[in-house]
Structure 1
Amino acid sequence: MSQPGETSPSTTLHSDLDLLAQLHAQVLSESGHDAGEQLDALVEACRREDESAVQAIVDELDAEAAATLTRAVTVHLHLANLADERSRARALRRGEDDDIESGGVAPALQELIDSNRLQGLRIHPVLTAHPTEARRRAVTAALSRIAQQLDRFDDPQNGAPEHAVARRRMLEDIDILQRTSTLRRTQPEPRDEVKTVLTVFDQTLFRAVPRLYRRVEAALPGADPGRTGPQVPAFVRFGTWVGGDRDGNPFVTSTVTRATMATQAEQALRQLHEHVDRVARTLTMDTVTTPPSPELMQALAVDAVAYPEQFAEIMKNSPGEPHRQKLLVVGARVEATRREHAGFAYAGPEEMLAELRLVQDSLVAAGDARSARGELQHLIWMVETFGFHLAELEVRQHSAVHEGVLTELIGMLPDVADPGAAAQDPAFLDELATKGWPIAVLPQSERATEALDTIRVLSWLQQRWGVGCCGRYIVSFTRNEADLLAVRALARLAVGDRPLRLDVVPLFETGADLQNAPSILRAWAQRASTQSQWAQSGRAVEVMVGYSDSAKDVGPASATLTLDHAERELVAWAEQAEVELTLFHGRGGSLGRGGGPLHRAIMAQPSGSVDGRFKVTEQGEVIFARYGDAAIAQRHLERLTSAVLLADEPKRSKARDDAAARYADLARIVDQQSRGCYRALVEQPGFADLIALVSPLDEIGDLRLGSRPSRRAGVETGRSLDDLRAIPWVFSWAQTRVNLPGWYGLGSGLAAVGDIELLRRAYREWPLFASLIDVAEMSLAKSDRRLAERFLELGGRPDLSVQILTEYDLSLAHVLDVLGQQELLERKPHLSQAIGLRRPYIDALSHLQLKALRVLRLPADPLRNGPVDREAWRRTLLLTVNGAAAGLQNTG
């Protein structure tokens, strides 16, 4: 880094990066140590791929110096991410886009020429608390302050004095960032995760969602946005698992779930009150220019009697302005709802919507369509989208927990010889769910009490905030119909005949469970309790498919093809059962957990599996990457919308189905060969130990990324692949620069086909195969063979190292061959640039991590000189993990 000089306002990604790098260099120089010079030397050596120079620098570092240097590299990566995000947001605001393939809602609607497709449209992102976000809130806050000052520095309206102030404040915050520990000292609690995730609603989503609807409205034929009637329904809904997902997390309790919804409702109502108040103060039209409708006048007369004190104050402040008066009444009632003032509060969002539409209709009748369809329409969309609960709180629990609880409770019933068998007897469980339990039983264990209390709190929350606030209950690792019937059997005991909307959602995760899913659902559909649930939901059924464990189970290529086959079977089942199926995609941010370009993934879905409805998990750093900026959030939602609109367009659907049939034999070969190759590796004795030795797997829990433990309950060593969670599995492979979960086995699968022209045609014609190759290309691009080889050496298993690297070479060669490229990402310049900007810094962190691992894993390392402070090196290792996660971005 050069010393900073006079810098003009930045306007591009590179000028932003140059400015931030200069300011960072100044901070390091002023700190009095030589981290800046070391950073320059190490990064330059990594850029030249000069291994001897890199080793000379790293070998001289003790734990303290390595930690300081790691902090400097990490801060630079955070600043690079900030510059990149600003560049993307700036381009979007100018109407530019770096993803031409994804199109937008305007081209999608022009192609469809059918606004009726909007009526059944539903986009449903679900924010989860899976522990993949390594960045502390303190770091996020500092970066946010730097971004604000960078905007100030960029503003052409500001002169030299303002630029100087912005520059000084950026230096201050970069200094704070450099001195702030990136490691959490305490484990986050679920309430901390709730606060963190909900910031995106305050900061971006309340702005981004109405803008999305406006963009769709503007794309409709003959549209006059803000004047003609709203033809666009509020088609986005948000869900959340934060505070509701108790699978493997003992810290999420019924008390936490209740408190979570209280926090969400507080935030939703506060936002709605602010927006109502703002809109109300603009509706200053009087009775002469804009006469109110008789219905509005009648409603105001009722308000005067129902809320005399509040209404008198409103009349005093807004005489002769009936539309404003009514909106001020609405605002006062929203505030009363937030403060839980009985008699003045709304019973639910539907009551508020009715009053807003009353004002809107009155304005239209008076000839003021612009006021009716302007900001007031934004407010209506907000209420329809967020309600009083912000996002639907979903509950998830492991099927084994339900089985254990039922075994305990059924054991208290008379005349049950084998409670364990009864807890897995579908007919018996269905009878408990429909006819009730023969006697009331009281749980004896804390686990059983908590299971029943969870369902009771769902019933209470629905009574308080409406049935839309919660009600979906996801059963992890669904193995059979009994796993689904168990929830309704427990619900009958928990709440009896009291009102409760409970939609049981099966989650099929492993390769075997995905294959068995249709038969499980067919059996489940025959049960009386299931038919009762479907009758309550209008025969709308949700089924969740998991990407993480299926990929860990059979490898990425086979998992992709297995999921595709399973989804086709599920669509056929839904048609036969005459239900409206919504597939819920449990995708992670990482490439080994279903990550990658979401637009292309949607377009590759089997015909009929989308049908205007798409639900997907968003988690970890992906939440803030996609929703941290309003422009980026709007564009992400627009991409989802366009893809969902087009996914089942008849011509595309037919072409996709024809291609799937045409390349069925190719798919079978790739599936069988890639699965066999993958299983041949992971079933090797000692393979689970290898990943623990060559990566920071065992230390990841100490990063305190989330409230959920990194290992499943009862697992002590973490050496069993079956018990290791998919998130730390993928996270660890990303740290080693191997990225094995994103590509392993694909090379063998492609090689077995033996016809490169056939593979190239499949890439051009079959969206699913193209998506598979593109994800592998991205994963390989974020890998590094030289560094991967050095990490693998730490495992002391040259046989496994050779096996992995041989498959890497095969996968790389065949992916490039299919793409017809010499280098990875040749046709994706924006992605290539993003990775290239960060690579030397991530490589530097990898070299530092390698040294820390050598100290901790190899006690007899010949390169070691004298005694070492293991705890200091352990902390350095954690710092490198945190920094690499910031640079790689989609690690979990």
Structure 2
Amino acid sequence: MSEQMYRREKGNPLRQDIRILGNALGQAIQRHEGHTVFDTVEKLRGHCIRLRDYSERLHQADTMEKSQLLRDIQALEQEILQIVSESDLDTAIDVIRAFTVYFHLVNTAEQYHRIRRRRAHEIDPETTPQRGSLEALVEFFKRNQLDGATLQQLFDNLSIDLVFTAHPTEATRRSLITKSRRITTLLNQLDNAALMTQHERSRWQRNLDTVIDLLWRTDAIRQVRPEPLDEIKMGIYYLDEIIYDALPDLYGELEELLQKDYPDLTVPPFLRVGSWIGGDQDGNPFIHADTLLTALSQQRNYVLVHYRRALFELARECSQSIDHATITPELEASLARDKEEMPDYAAELGPQTALEPYRAKLSFMWKRLGETKTIPPLPPQAAWFVNTPQAEAKSDKSIAYQSAEELLADLHMVEASLLADGENSIARGALHTLIRQVEVFGFYFAALDVRQHSERHASALTELLQVTGLRKDDYKSLPEAERVQLLENLLEDPRILTRPGLHLSPDTQQILTNFDTIRQVRETFGKRAVTCYITSMSHSLSDLLEVQFFCKEMGITDLPIVPLFETIEDLRNCTDILETAFNHPLYQSYLANCQREQQVMLGYSDSSKDGGILTSSWELYQTQSRLAELSQKHHIAITIFHGRGGAIGRGGGPIYEAILAQPPGSVNGHLRITEQGEMLSFKYGLHDIAIRNMELVVAGAIQSSIPDENIIESQIHPKARPDWIEAMDRLSNSAFARYRKLIYNDPDFLSFFEQATPIKEIGWLNLGSRPARRSVGRAIDELRAIPWIFSWMQTRYVLPSWYGVGGAMEEYLREDPGHLAKLQQMYQQWPFLKTFIDNLQMTLSKADMSIAHDYAAFLVEDQALRERISTEIQAEYDRTVSAVVAIVGSKKLLDNSPTLQESIKRRNPYVDPLSYFQIVLLKRLRSLGGPLTLDAEAFKQATPEEQERARLTYSVLLTINGIAAGVRNTG
């Protein structure tokens, strides 16, 4: 291995990492597949790089050179398509795999480079703190002369939840994620190569070759669709491997930074991780009460193992003898009780441990925690027949901890005794870390939300009323006023409708069982174990009162009811619905049980799919402004739950900037954000990356919650001026009309969409347990936002993230020469528009109209339809790019973000071969009748044509996986 490999180029460590990993992959391909695959990969790579170079030069060429470049581009593209078309299927599959694995390596290298840059900021005393870091946050406090009392009040009011979603469209298998972590470790070792011996360097190279060999021979495609249990295990992987240590490390870093200037400040457990995995029942028939129990039970088992391991290590460390240490009377009394309650274990510990009080107490705690069991599964029949807790009866003599609070009380008692004895290192070190972990993880690890569609509640109530004889007509057909009146009567009636002997459909039984299970697990795991109940597609007050009714039936009095507003119309009606609820006596009394706190969830994905990205963004902004005003008016603490996705079209983008761009007063110390499944490996796959992502959220939320009157240096919550609002209203109305005209009102658009994108084939990619559609229909309304975005990302159109914006802006700019200056001012002075425009730059840069047109040209059969819609999309793309560049004041997209610009530029030539393969293979697959999957035995029995269809299906799914890795977006 050459010395040059170990010399790190100061300005290009990322490039060198990618080069080293790429070379190792090339060697692995040649070892296992020979030269044919490798040569094809290299030829396609070279051609696509040249093609990109020609396209780049085309924009700056004169007329004569432009004509030649166009001929060169056409000839080169034909040569690429010829290589792709003439590749036999075995070679095609291996070439696709090669580019896919390459992207996994590039993604790993870029992730590690983020860690490297973060460390460089922390090490170099000359650099300013990294934007959005905790260090920068504390510097912000000091610059603005915020005192300790003000900050303590701010921290005490803070509540931030990062919620892992239940539909992980993660195209990367766990096997690949764990290998990426190993490569990250190797890259870290390479940064210290100067300290390696020759033997260590040789071993490093062997280790790299081994892991990349394994990557190459690991199937990137899931052969079996994951079941809910698989998704639960995947969520636990992140909790167990990353979050358990990263979250307390984040707290520790914040406390350390605050110590110097704010020594008396106490940092409460304000940041927690939640989950939908096992609780999100909306549109997923495989999620129900049992999966909720399974998720919480498995999570509990994992977190208790962590706690016991920590107690074991502490007990081993705390060897202080009673002859050389003192303990508090509380600890002494506690030890006496432990010996009385656990005489056999006290004897097992022996006389020596009796002389070591801290070791003895920690050992007794370890024993008690070992007796702390999970709850048994529900019986096969519906549990709602019995309105008593189903948890295992606890003996009066049980030594098990009944709650995390009991464990915390013992930990605090040990901490107090250690501090009184002057033993600060352990009390402020390992013990403090464990206390923090128990505070934030409880006995459930990640609190679960439960989500269900509003229609399911209405249907269940209809049947329940009919079966009990209270009402024969259809509750769902009643006007809203009659629905509310009926619900008021039910809520004020002390009787319980659900009783043994009712003959109900499985769907209604499921709704009732769900609520009974929620009550059960909150009684057993603690109330925070199930954080809230989310009602998707909430349209009216009755949607909230229905949930309140089912809570009443099962004896639940304080489960937060969270309406989810998803469509543009629902966003506009949101505050009116909540105003009605806040003025309703029965809902008011329920809110009182919930400490007058109301969560409101806003759907970024479906609102964008419904009205386009500009209208969605603007309506979300206005809704949050109105919610902030409503909160002040009714003195109810409203927490906005942001249902953000990974892609820009679903509300994704840089999170720190997104939080700072929220309307004034809308964060106010309370924030919940979904962390979508497709982004978990990117944001939480590595310890340091997880800390970085969490600190961005924390810094953004805290800065957004500080009132302007406390800020000296500048206003951080600029209010939208009336003329800015007027401009956005006009842009939004125009963009909405343009978006709806194409997507929903053009009768032929659905046909174009289904042919030009792999939307039908995506359903065969085993991403998650949830179906791609809410119902069996074909309409775009019924398609979930995730596959909607995913399919457009695959074809490089990236259409949902920008369509409608360009035409609206062009129209606005054409009306008045001064409008450009106004939009530029808004971009420079208003975080909302700056964030929106910068996200547009990113998605427009990821889009590639040349590749996109190839999809249409090859796959859309109707020439007139193809040319009409392709022409319109191209024109709108050009209009959008032109407007964005003018507003930003740059020459090209992302000129003001060179790192991101370079990343996309570096990736594109490697994504292009995958796109060409996908186009050619999709055409062949569809000509044979479409996707077909066969297991190994069925494949042997299949006809040659069926076998070819199955292998073509596999190859197409490989391209989908590879492109997702290349553009770093699924849904």
2:960 corresponds to 1:872:
no
Contact 1:92 1:632 in 2 (8 A): no
- The 2-side partners of 1:469 and 1:835 are apart by 41
Equivalent residues of 2:282, 2:451 under 8 A apart: yes
Aligned match for 1:527, one of 575, 578, 584: 584
| Partner residue, 1:177 | 215
Alignment correspondent of 1:281: 316
Distance (Å, rounded) in 1 between the aligned partners of 2:7 and 2:39: 25
- Cα distance 1:439–1:746, how it changes in 2: closer, same or farther (>3 A)? closer
Alignment of 1:746-757 (within 5 A): 746-754=805-813, 755-757=819-821
Contact kept in structure 1, 2:242 and 2:687, CA below 8 Å: yes
Helix, strand or coil at the partner of 1:133: coil
Q: How far did 1:15 drift? A: 2.3
1:883 paired with 2:962, answer yes
Structure 2 CA distance for partners of 1:661 and 1:213, relative to 1, 3 Å: farther
Letter of the aligned partner of 1:405 in structure 2?
A: A
In the alignment, structure 1 residue 48 sits paired with structure 2 residue 41: no
- Aligned match of 2:904 in 826, 835, 844? 835
Mean Cα displacement is larger for which, 35-44 or 383-392?
A: 35-44
User: Equivalent residues in 2 for 1:395-474 (5 A)?
Assistant: 395-420=450-475, 421=477, 425-437=483-495, 439-440=497-498, 442-474=502-534
2:831 counterpart residue number: 767
Once the two structures are superposed, residues 395-446 of structure 1 have per-residue CA deviations (whole angstroms, 9 ceiling, x without a partner) of 1011111111111111123352423246960121233234245654525211
Secondary structure, in 3 states, of the residue corresponding to 2:449? strand
Alignment match of 1:824 (pick from 893, 910, 927): 893
How far residue 121 of structure 1 moved from its aligned partner, in angstroms, is 1.3
2:111 maps to 1:109: no
Partners in 2 of 1:885 and 1:523 — Cα distance?
Answer: 44
Is the CA contact 1:660–1:766 (under 8 Å) kept in the aligned structure 2? no
SS in 2 for 1:346: coil
Quote how far apart the aligned CAs of 1:45 are: 1.1
Shift of 1:199: 0.9
Deviations 1:475-495 (A, max 9, x none): 0000111111111222333x2
Q: How far apart in 1 are the matches of 2:802 and 2:843?
A: 7
After superposition, the Cα gap between the structure-2 partners of 1:368 and 1:5, relative to the gap in structure 1 and judged at 3 Å, is closer
The 1:281/1:832 distance shift into structure 2, 3 A limit, reads farther
Q: Aligned match of 2:706 in 649, 653, 657?
A: 649
* Correspondences of 1:485-496 after superposition (within 5 Å): 485-493=545-553, 495=554
Instruction: Please state how far the C-alpha of 1:33 moved relative to its aligned partner.
Output: 4.6
State the shift of 1:749 in Å.
2.3
Indicate yes or no: 2:844 matched with 1:780. yes
* Counterpart-to-counterpart distance in 2, 1:594 and 1:199: 25
* TM-aligned CA deviation for residue 776 of structure 1: 0.6
Counterpart amino acid of residue 426 in structure 1: V
Cα distance in 1 for partners of 2:80, 2:367 equals 65
Name the residue aligned to 1:15: 16
1:61 counterpart = 2:87: yes
2:773 aligned residue: 711
Aligned AA (1:684): D
Q: Contact (CA 8 Å) 2:467, 2:504: kept in 1 or not?
A: no
CA deviation after TM superposition for structure 1 residue 658, in Å: 3.2
Deviation at 1:531, TM superposition (A): 2.2
Which stretch of the first structure deviates more once superposed, 569-578 or 799-808? 569-578
Among 732, 740, 765, which residue is 1:679 paired with?
Answer: 740
- Contact preservation (8 Å) 2:608, 2:650: yes
2:788 to 723, 729, 732: 729
Q: 1:337-348 maps to which residues of 2 (within 5 A)? A: 337-338=372-373, 343-348=398-403
Aligned partners of 1:410 and 1:423 also within 8 Å = no
Summarize the Cα distance change of 1:221–1:611 in structure 2 as closer, same or farther, 3 Å threshold. Answer: same
SS of structure 1 residue aligned to 2:577: helix
Residue aligning to 2:69: none
Who is 2:759 aligned against? 697
Cα displacement (A) at 1:154: 5.1
Q: CA deviation at 1:129?
A: 2.3
Query: What aligned pairs does 1:222-301 form with structure 2 within 5 A after superposition?
Result: 222=260, 231-301=266-336
Deviation track 1:596-618 (CA, whole Å, cap 9, x = no partner) reads: 01111100111111001111000
Code of the residue aligned with 1:814 in structure 2: it is A
Other structure's SS at 2:908 match: helix
TM-score of the two chains, using structure 1 as the length reference? 0.94
Offset from partner CA, 1:746-779 (integer Å, 9 cap, x none): 1122223312111111001111111110111110
Which amino acid in the other structure matches residue 776 of structure 2?
G
Structure 2 unaligned regions, length at least 5: 52-75, 376-393, 814-818, 930-944
Structure 1 residue 274: Cα displacement: 1.5
Match for residue 863 of structure 1?
none
CA distance in structure 2 between the partners assigned to 1:463 and 1:618 by the alignment: 27
Corresponding residue of 2:31: 30
1:240-277 deviation per Cα after TM superposition (whole angstroms, max 9, x unaligned): 00000011100012111111110011111111111222
Aligned Cα root-mean-square deviation (Å): 2.5
Worse overlay, 521-530 or 770-779: 521-530
Match in the other structure for 1:670: 731
**Deviation at residue 515 of structure 1 after TM alignment:** 0.5
2:316 and 2:672 map into 1 onto residues whose CA distance is 37
1:62 Cα deviation (Å)? 3.0
Q: Is the 8 A contact 1:556 1:742 kept in 2?
A: yes
Distance 1:54 1:437, change over 3 A: farther
SS of aligned partner of 1:571: helix
Task: Please report how far the alpha carbon of residue 75 of structure 1 lies from its aligned counterpart in structure 2 after TM superposition.
Answer: 0.7
* Structure-2 change in CA distance of 1:316 and 1:845 (3 Å): farther
Contact 2:112 2:187 in 1 (8 A): no
Deviation of 1:142 after TM superposition, in Å, equals 3.2
CA displacement 1:706-745 (0-9 Å, x = unmatched): 0001111333xx3x11111100000000001010111111
Inter-CA distance 45–317: structure 2 relative to 1 (3 Å threshold) = farther
| 348-357 or 568-577: bigger deviation | 568-577
- Residues 572 and 181 (structure 1), Cα distance of their counterparts in 2 relative to 1, 3 Å cut: same
2: CA distance, partners of 1:159 / 1:338: 50
C-alpha distance in 2, partners of 1:35/1:537? 62
% of aligned pairs identical?
34
- Listed as ranges, the gaps of 5+ residues in structure 1 are 861-866
**C-alpha distance in 1, partners of 2:256/2:728?**
41
Name 1:864's counterpart in structure 2.
none
Structure 1's 339 and 606: CA in aligned 2 closer, same or farther, altered over 3 A? closer
Superposed CA deviations along residues 846-888 of structure 1, whole A, max 9, x for unmatched, are 111111223245689xxxxxx9944433322111001011111
After superposition, what is the alpha-carbon deviation per residue over 1:503-547, rounded to whole angstroms, capped at 9, x for unaligned? 110000000001011111122223344223211211011000000
Which amino acid counterpart does residue 86 of structure 1 have in structure 2?
Y
For residues 489-508 of structure 1, the aligned pairs below 5 Å read 489-493=549-553, 495=554, 497=555, 501-508=558-565
8 Å contact kept, 2:177–2:685: no
> How far apart are residue 468 of structure 1 and its match?
1.2
- 1:78-121 deviation line (CA, Å, top 9, x unaligned): 11111111222233234459995434332343345242221111
One-letter amino acid matched to 2:750: A
Please, which moves more after superposition, 142-151 or 25-34? Answer: 142-151
User: Deviation of residue 5 (structure 1)?
Assistant: 6.7
> Could you list the per-position Cα deviations for residues 361-401 of structure 1 after superposition, in whole angstroms to 9, with x for gaps in the alignment?
11222233333222211111111110010111111011111
Secondary structure (helix, strand or coil) at the match of 1:8 reads helix
Q: Confirm or deny: 8 A CA contact 2:133 2:692 kept in the other structure.
A: no
CA contact (8 A) 1:109 1:219 kept: no
TM-score by length of 2: 0.86
For the residue of structure 1 that corresponds to 2:668, the secondary structure is coil
Secondary structure, counterpart of 2:372 in structure 1: helix
- Alpha-carbon distance between aligned partners in 1 of 2:349 and 2:812, rounded to the nearest angstrom: 76
Aligned to 2:868: 799
- Partners of 2:715 and 2:247 in 1: how far apart? 32
Amino acid of the structure 1 residue aligned with 2:266: Q
Structure 2 SS opposite 1:337: coil
Residue 63 of structure 1: how far off its partner (Å):
2.8
- CA-CA distance at 1:151 after TM superposition: 4.3
